[in-house]
Amino acid sequence: MRVLIIGSGGREHALAWKIKQSPKVEHIYVAPGSDGLRELAEPVAVDGNSMEALADWAEQQRIDLTIVGPEMYLALGITDLFAKRGLPVFGPSKGAAQLEASKVRAKEVMAKYQIPTAGFQVFTDPQAALSYVRSQTGPLVVKADGLAAGKGVTVADNPAEAEKAIKDLMVEKIYGDAGKQVVIEETLYGEEVSLLAVTDGTTILPLLPAQDHKRAFAGDQGPNTGGMGAYAPASLLTPELLTEVRQTILEPTIEGMAKEGHPYSGLLYVGLMITDDGPKVVEFNVRFGDPEAQVILPLLENDLLDICLAVIERRLDQVELKWKEASAACVVLASAGYPGSYEVGQRITGLSEAAKIQDLLVFHAGTKKEKDCWQTAGGRVLNLVGIGRDLPQALAKAYQGAEIIDFPGCQYRKDIGWRELNRQ
């Protein structure tokens, strides 16, 4: 089979690495791809911003399966376009992808189908939003309605911080049209966990629960990022809680989207807060999490290609997921200044030495190769994934890699998995 993966980051590197293991795969292409992905997949010289051009190319190359990484393509309707052309694609339709593309839409669906989440208000007028936060006393969460690369959320400890977030989003428009509407939520208290599930619209198969580390610095301090590390499995989501999540969140969401006229097929990522009142939805994403995919996929024993095809062909009920008895931990090496401004072109050393470490995977998130020299080319540069019989062993492998690989300004969190370790 000929497979196309859309994207260029660490998540797509992990997807290509996993798909490459399938005996059914003849060739993997990646659009737009990166130098870091070149060993596994052939970059596609197509305008990645043109979905029509991608569809034309996929038709010409007789692509048997397309897997979409970034949410933007799904929100713009790439699945609908490919499906009309008869091109098999793994990912939800444009209508279903609004669960991530619009925070307002997601909240409306949760309210309509009684899916547990934080109380909220929606605002289109900045003055009305400012008046509302000034009338509140406790912490609030301010979210841009649209896509903002995982950075459009502010957890405001006081009204002043909430006011600044509103002004940034709605007046200064730091994320463009994504901030035309905002959702202001009550703050949920508890511990977060990520649950990804594959579904064909009828059958729902949860993957291993994982925990992301959104804040830039140790101790969950600093600004939100796209993710500074993750581990799986997360024991926080017990079998009993998983059953509750399935009954109160996963099933009502999938059934609700069908009733809304947008049947959901693909991967649904549920960001959960485990509160004293039970699991509640923090957010929905409509694609593999990054960096959650990097720790979940290495533990999956099934052929990922088979799972994707079963979803597309509506026969997921014939699949039984199998997992390794192991743990995986990801440490993200980031550029100095990330998630704010940062420099690129910094020389990376130690990659060849790290490649010799057993049970260490290195996924490229933001790199480029100039002649024989690897350089930084993004905020999140590398994902170091350690595999071990338990979390401490997996973390030891990841941090062993972090001690060897270096570049000027390299920063990473040294406390990945700290909550899980405290539970052990």
Q: Which whole-number Å values give the CA distances from 121 to 104, 138, 277, in the listed order?
A: 9, 15, 21
CA–CA separation, 149 vs 225, rounded Å? 9
| Residue 150 clears pLDDT 90, i.e. is over it | no
108 located within any domain: no
Query: Do 276 and 362 fall into the same domain?
Result: no
Q: What is the DSSP string of 170-193?
A: IIS-TTGGGGSSEEEEEPP-SEEE
How many domains does the chain contain in total? 4
What CATH code is carried by the domain that includes residue 248? 3.30.470.20
Query: Do 311 and 206 fall into the same domain?
Result: yes
pLDDT at res. 260: 97
**312 is in which domain, residue-wise?**
189-318
Which residue, of 274, 289, 318, is where some domain finishes?
318
pLDDT at res. 355: 96
For range 384-399, the mean pLDDT: 98
- pLDDT tens string 9-63: 999 999 999 999 999 999 999 999 999 999 999 999 887 668 999 999 999 999 9
Read off the tokens for 89.
């694609």
CB 272 within 8 A of CB 191: no
Element (H, E) at 250: none
Q: Is residue 73 very low, low, confident or very high in pLDDT (cuts 50, 70, 90)?
A: very high
Query: Do 307 and 196 fall into the same domain?
Result: yes
Which residue, of 72, 91, 110, is where some domain finishes?
91
**Residue whose C-alpha is closest to residue 11's, from 381, 365, 382, 375:** 365
CB 4 within 8 A of CB 31: yes
Query: Do 358 and 239 fall into the same domain?
Result: no
Q: What is the DSSP string of 260-292?
A: TT----EEEEEEEEEETTEEEEEEEESS--TTH
pTM for this predicted structure: 0.95
